[in-house]
Chains A and B, each alone.
Chain A
């Protein structure tokens, strides 16, 4: 688990300011995650337990890549 905590101790601040700070922190986390080139570079994701698959915007387009993956797997066995 990865967590980031900023503990301001007993400092009293308004709920509005709390919300604003939380939004800024969460936005910073997302922006940095989004900029990471190591995440999601592959087109097809292959879970270790199973071959995985890609859910395409058009589901009907799944057949071709599944066949392609199957052919690749057979070649490597």
Chain B
């Protein structure tokens, strides 16, 4: 099992909960390592897909993940590219709390730039069509 941590993993028992989506729609990173258990996931699922409200981390699956491009995670590069193309104010950042920073797959690949992008990312596990909020 890889020691490297995926910062955008599915909600499952044993996964680390790295943060919650705040009212501004951005991820607030936790400073304490919190582990998802069945009670938390059951409570969260009443509200919808837990990935819409929280971000989860688990061991990087590397070649067993569809995002693996053969050498690295293909996701963070595409996220940074999309945000830059859209004119998002990406700034290298390592100021916020993060319980997986030392072993984060995205940070290992992109450094502080990955940390600057991370809070923009919310995983939609619902499979529903996207709608903009008012």
Contacts and interface: CB of A to CB of B under 8 A. Distances in A.
Interface in B25-44: 25-26, 31-32, 34-37, 39-41, 43-44
A67 to B, nearest CB: 10
B14 interface: no
Given A39-B53, A42-B25, A46-B25, A34 B130 contact: no
A27 B37 contact: yes
A46 B120 CA distance: 9
Contacts of A30: 17, 34, 36-37, 40
B132 A72 contact: yes
A57 B41 CA distance: 19
A43, A45, A47, A62: residue with the most chain B Cβ atoms closer than 10 Å: A45
Query: What band does the interface of chain A fall in when counting residues whose beta carbon is under 8 Å from B?
Result: 35 or more
Interface in A23-47: 26-27, 29-47
B124 A34 contact: no
B2 to A, nearest CB: 20
10 contacts: A27-B37, A27-B39, A30-B34, A39-B53, A40-B21, A43-B124, A43-B128, A43-B130, A55-B121, A73-B132
